[in-house]
Structure 1
Amino acid sequence: MTVAGRARARLALGGRRLRASALPIVQCGLAAGLAWFVAADLVGHARPFFAPIAAVISLGVSLGSRLRRAGELVVGVSLGVLVGDLLISWIGTGVWQIALVVMLAVAAAVFTDGGTLIVAQAGASAVLVATLLPPGDTGGIDRCVDALIGGTVGVLVVAVLPSHPLGPVRRQARHALDELSAVLFGIADALRARDEQAASAALSRARASQPIVDDLRAAVRSGREVTTVAPGRRPHRAELTRFSELAERVDYAFRNTRVLARRALAALQDDEPAVDALPDAVTQLATAVRRLADEVRGGHREQARDAILELVHEAPILAEAGDLGMSEQVMVAQLRSIAIDLLQATGLTRREAVAALRAEL
């Protein structure tokens, strides 16, 4: 790709990210301005700089737990201010005083909860008290109030101007399934061409998949949080529960795929034979995952069930294990496990998925 082509691709990617984050960006801006207005004009604080900061941190542009972040923010600031005010009023300010105050504030935060945001805000607030606020100044207490105002405003903005709880979940689910499909296609190609490097690449890609699954789980948690604070979004709770189950099934499918990739690589390294039907079965399963990804995007994952069963039915090797070698048997067992994971991802229970698979074999 040329330099101009890469530049256009980066611009296009940036544009997609910007469109996807448009509403969270608006939420952050409104929350920051509203938090300043409440703290400065309604409460009467002279320089409530921490209110808009708290609002932005409690919201965040990326997915995550807003309610927990807001709580951690207030707790962290309160701990930092409490420790800082108590100590600085006794020992004054200076190099060793700052070091001592920060260590004690962070230690208190770790003892209290240990959350990353609590620890960071406790340390930062202690530094501000030790360096900017004179002993006995009431600004430290005001900053605790500002943090509470900012966190509360952030949550209220989400309630009044909520994002769609299912949009990010569907995008992340499609991304995870597309990645699973790509790994399976890579394994099939490696087995078919007896290419150790390709098998190694597929295994490396499978091992790097966990953050994708974690992002899907984070999207589900964020969606549930939106339905908690925004009453109008509560009808989506049932669908979010189904996506939570899908996330678990996708995680299991990736785990089984990693085992499949490891066994495929070992078989190629040991020059073990592989029947032609094996890579074909992996390809068919990868195609089934792709079909599931397409249906998830449209919100109709149940419609992929028949396609998965049909593809399983067209892979007779999944029912034959007696004449296969050890590595082939292991790989077939993993393919069956992945098929069960996929059927559960369409909404079946494990017992129903096993029964449906046996009926097709």
Structure 2
Amino acid sequence: MALTRITLQNFRNHPASELENTAHFNLLVGENGAGKTNVLEALSLLSPGRGLRRANLADLARKSGAESVTGAFAIGASLIEQGQTSARIGTYTEPDRPTRRLVRINGAEASASALSEWHAVSWLTPAMDGLFTDSAGARRRFVDRMTLAIEPGHAKNVSALENALRERNKLLETGGDARWLDAIEAQAAQHGAVVAQNRARLISELADELSALPPEPFARPILTYRPGGPTDVAELLAEFARARPRDRAAGRALTGPHRDELEVVMASSGVPAASCSTGEQKAMLIAITLAHGVLASSGRPSVLLLDEVAAHLDPVRRTELFRRLGRGQGQVWMTGTEMAPFADIEGSAAIWRVSGGALERL
């Protein structure tokens, strides 16, 4: 078990919601627009980053019409390990600073990145169904989120790399001091190499986990990491220096981890995922999510958020999904509009009826 005693205050359409006595499987059932996905989004914010919707903080506080009721929200939860509370974690904003996210762990202020040191959170939502046909940047974010669940410090390196590249672009554009440019490129190379190596390691571990899965009922994908440049610090630093004239003309760095790509093909056919049917793409995405869930639950608590997944699977795939999730160690949260798709796990799940931002334990 990972999270319990979960509270939402003025978050989205939830004025004050609580979820206690959670289980391995946790189900949120209700009509469209009731607030089910809002609960998953709240849980996703108990990790670094912008959550599963990547929403602006100012848009998260509960509103009456177009105006925020309080200008602030709060999310809290107790982290459980081996039946004992190991930490109380939470994130919130304040009315006078609605765009600044604050975090507390055991009552003390902390950084958002510190949340990943306590547990891993990952998710699969309908908005991710187009991942394989989306931009390379979307796939990098997907890989980074998965990597963060394994490497808690990954977010800091990604942020430091992005900041260094932005500063380098400005210096190249304005013709800034060469010594300062050397220093910025050294930072970009140092953090960039770590980012690239973390991504490569994650994809390798995922590939190993996926290779052990049968090709059916979920389509097994083959993953390949394509680095956007050298992954060694010295080589990356030399490439940044060599490419200055070209990057100055382009207005951006054309080589580096910010150009990494994740390539996915279906194992049984060798067809690139982007060219597969929507059903095959969904099946491969679920397979990746399940494989990652195994990795993420090794060594620390983990939470997997699945939004409207069961309803879009046939009975065979749905039964297999529940079987694999049941064998895992991570806590699972799922949403649906009715109970029928969850008949296989109804007897062992914690279930809440969601309606108008209110929760009722069933």
| TM-score, structure 2 as length reference | 0.25
- Specify which structure has the bigger relative contact order, considering alpha-carbon pairs within 8 angstroms and separated by 6 or more residues: 2
- Which one has a larger percent helix, Structure 1 or Structure 2? 1
